[in-house]
Structure 1
Amino acid sequence: MESMGKIRSSWDLYVEEALGKLESRKKFAPLRPMNASMAGQEEGAQTNLDEDEYETYQGIQPWDRLASQIQLPQIFFQRLMAGLELTSKNEREEHEIISSNQEKKFKKLTLFAGNDFLGLSRHPTIAKAMAKAAMEQGTGPRGSPLVCGYTNYHMALESALANLKKKEVLELQFATIGGQPRKFSDALNHASIVDGLKIAEQQGGVELSVYKHCDMSHLDALLTKCKNKRKVVVTDSLFSMDGDIAPMGELAHLRQKHGFLWVLDDAHGTFAWGKNGGGLAEEFNCEYDVDLCVGTLSKAASSLGGFVACSKIWKQWIQSRGRSFFFSTIAPIPLVAASYVSICHLLREFLQAGFYCVAVGPPAVPPKTARIRLTLTAVQTTEDIKRLAALISKYVKFQVPSYIDSSNYTSARL
């Protein structure tokens, strides 16, 4: 615990110095919180989001199954079956037929390609909360969070996310501190991470090193060799294309050893992993080792937008220097209300757990590593998964992972 405290204090010192410079130059950008009023509300009264007013359910409901079912126009389905998806020969004609409503035949499929991990996109309580917010508030004050967009709805969502992640949060991407820190990135990090680091490197803000995928020995060697005082390690928690998990415990150990700033992209783990839905850091009991946790509301929360969970001092730095934060219009109130209710429900409900699957090829994955990407959600049934596994097993030989008992492989793989 003592070493963790020293690491945190070291980075806090860097940020405190940077904030001091901003304040001395009168460039500190404070948030301006405001209450979103509605018609007929008395002056001074505050609109609050009360999680107790939202109805909860147990077990799979009819709307849950709807979240895993889609319909494709028959003309497009036939093109998929003919292997013509990646050609543009007939696409314009098909779109004209579909848009003119001439195509009236549809093929029903079970969806195994979406990001609605918990099946909340069709939940009636979330839909009602979103509709209620839209009726009372419209889309809310439309502006930057630093000008007029930071309302009590956004603060409620921020507080809920802060409690979930054991930190403070903001909806933005973080900026780097000046000076040229060295950043270390996993070789299979998401394209958004790679692009962000490349931009930072091009602007002269950082030096970038890439370590072999989940190879902690390689990362340890690079960190040991690096002479920069400020080091940052950026990694996905769950790698979406390969489906494997970053070695969280080993990363926490290396953080204590080398004193780097740990930035974790938990887009695929947030709300879906951990006892309380706090993500992979909660699952592996290293929440306090992660300095900045990047998450999204567009997957398991079935909404839109993103956030950074961090300490108060990092929050102040980000809100003053995060260009994508203060140059963007804040999320509309109905979406924020939907996100807030989604978080309330993931803490209070426990859902039981032809096919539409998407083939993924380069540049989304390295050359010669094309694969079918399957997404399992809370609304697919065991029978759905068994039927899909049986179909795929006709063409693909399943390999037993080392961590699964081969004697129980049949049931484990399903």
Structure 2
Amino acid sequence: MPAFSLEPAQTAWCAELRALAAERLRPLAEKGEPGRVNRPLVAELGRLGLLPRLFTSGAVDLCLMRESLAHACTEAETALALQGLGAHPVHAHGTPAQRRHWLPRVADGAAIAAFALSEPGAGSDAAALSLAAEPDGRDAKDGLDGQGRPNRWRLTGEKCWISNAPEADFYTVFARTTTGAGARGVTAFLVPADRPGLTGSALDMLSPHPVGALRFDAVPVTMDDVLGEPDRGFRVAMGTLNLFRPSVGAFAVGMAQAALDATLAHTAQRDAFGGKLSDLQAVAHQVAEMALRTEAARLMVHAAAAAYDSGATDVPKRAAMAKLFATETAQYVVDTAAQLHGARALQRGHLLEHLYREVRAPRIYEGASEVQRGIIARELYAELADLEAR
């Protein structure tokens, strides 16, 4: 499939998703309590067959789902995305036992997943995380394998700004197993929420979904809880983010399109200065700019997703570009839409008031815009070095 076009079946599926989001998901979202996991909404995503697609579809389908849901119900989009973000490491790197136990429950909405990477002192600089995984025992019986390597640890420290915390049923947790090793000393663990020593608290954030902090007080984990291999968890994290960063862009595109659609309708109908708002060149040009940037962001997201699905070598660069451009674009489009709507856009309950609150966070989470620029620059110079070495 070309990176810059959709098949008719995909276009029809997106329209179906928008209708489902408006008719079946938005009513459930409106009944939810801000800052709490909306379990009926997650269960409905499972009944509609959308959660299982997180594990059977590629990046392009993930982006189509996120954009389509975001257009009509941002809460449903976020609930779907957080299930995928928290459970993808289990799908991609989990043991057969981990997959059998957790993935069916995630897919039907019975279990809530969370991705626990950020810390109070290690947000954008993920390689600097300090949650400690200390070996638990000194011999093979007490915690070392036959080659002298740990097979049991105790997790001690904190995680912060974790979506779905503290209400998730399990967490993909990244902890330092080797000190002084930077990104090479991190291990990914699957930690059930009922593990002794694990506690959490909610944070009062500008977000309708739960965001919380986690405290690990000598939480026991074993080799059975490892995702992938010890000391190679940073690859688990970056592989997950390379998949989900373009889809964050798709979420942003969905919000931008919703703001653009509302602005088109409003400016075409609103009487002003002896005509319609759309008759004013200044207004029409702003709407044109909103549409231009939204479409450019959509194409960049699709290109990054197609690159991921094809196994291209430049996925980190493309994913960062898509996430950066689409989230910055959505901020511009929603802000401009609010300006063109005037005071009504600031009224509680208005679509643009909702989007204005939603659109800010994606420029920060899963790597802030500044981090994405750093990734893009690093990849560009690496490509240059490769060319010069040939």
TM-score if structure 1 supplies the norm length? 0.23
Larger Rg: 1
TM-score if structure 2 supplies the norm length? 0.24
Pick the structure with more helix per residue. Answer: 2
